[in-house]
Each structure stands twice: as structure tokens, then as C-alpha cells.
Amino acid sequence: MDTLVLRLFATSSLVLTACLVAFDSQTKLLFYSMVRKASFRDLKALSILVWVASAAAAYNVLQILRSRLFPQMGKNLAWFGYLLDQAVAYLVFAANSAALQGCVFAVSGQSNFGWMKVCDKYTRFCIQIGGALICGYAACLAMAVISALSAYGLFRLYSPKHFLQLKHQ
């Protein structure tokens, strides 16, 4: 089963997510001379998202190259690819969800903790982050389907009768 199209889609979404977050900044004049610039470095979760999205994009590119250069995979390599696909899918999903939680605080604040809204000051910044998160979740969906397909490719090699035994055909 060829996952090329899905991997290309996931890679482009991940690159788009990383770029949207990393190149997002907004400068605001707060008082007469105080200038405050918002960037992804203000929120740890966004820095982590940039790193995770870039790493996952690089991983998908490597997998595309691998599938072009060595189309036939042995059983061990298939297991390795399956486990990595699963891990990367969960990792991207966790990074996205953590960033989403951070953004929910930024949008709505948390009044009982005295945490103020940030997005009413940096509206354009927040909208761009929102777009990045949508791209990120699209990539997650693609990665989940990819990991299901790589499970399919691996597990159909096994016998339906005997546990962990390869089948003859």
C-alpha cells in the first residue's frame, strides 16, 4: 500500500504549521515608549510545537525517500517503521493539543487564577496561530491514517490462526 500521497500531505501540513507559528509576530505599542513584541517564544508550548512539527516533517520526508529507494521492506524494518509511525502520530497529536490548551487560555483567560486574556491585544497573532493549529490537526489526521496503513501492511503478513507466525502466502 502506497502512502506517498498521505505522507506528502502530512509533510506539507507540518511544514505549514511550523512556518505559520515560527514566523508569526506582532508588535504592539503599549505605553508612550514601551513596545512589546509577541512571538512563538512567549509560549513554551508553541516552541515545542515548532520543533515537533519540523521533526515530524523531516521524518516523513525520510520515509518517502526510503519508500522510493527501497520499496521492499523486510519484517524487522516494517515493525520499526510501524512503531515510529505510531510514535510520531501520537507525538504530533500531543504537541498540538498542548498548544491548543495554551491558546484557549490566551483567548479566554482564566479569571479565577487571575490569568488575563492576551488575544484581545494581539488579535492578528492569535488568528495566525489558530490557522497553524488547524493545519496541525489536519496533519495529525493524515498521520493517524498513515499509521493505520502501516499497521495493515505489517500485520497482514501474519497468520490468522497462529499467534505471531508469518503466513505462507
CB 131, min distance to a copy of itself, A: 19
For residues 47 and 14, what is the distance between their CA atoms, to the nearest angstrom?
14
Number of residues that bind a copy of itself (CB under 8 A): 41
CB 124, min distance to a copy of itself, A: 17
CB 154, min distance to a copy of itself, A: 8
For residues 162 and 58, what is the distance between their CA atoms, to the nearest angstrom?
37
Reduced to 3 states (helix: H, G, I; strand: E, B; else coil), residue 155 is helix
Is the Cβ of residue 81 or residue 102 nearer to a copy of itself in the bound state? 102
Binding mask 3-42 for a copy of itself (x = CB under 8 A): ---------------------------------------x
Interface with a copy of itself, residue 155, by CB under 8 A: yes
What is the footprint of a copy of itself within residues 101-120 (CB under 8 A)? 101-102, 104-106, 110, 112-116, 118
Question: CA triplet 92, 147, 20: central angle to 5 degrees?
Answer: 30
Reduced to 3 states (helix: H, G, I; strand: E, B; else coil), residue 117 is coil
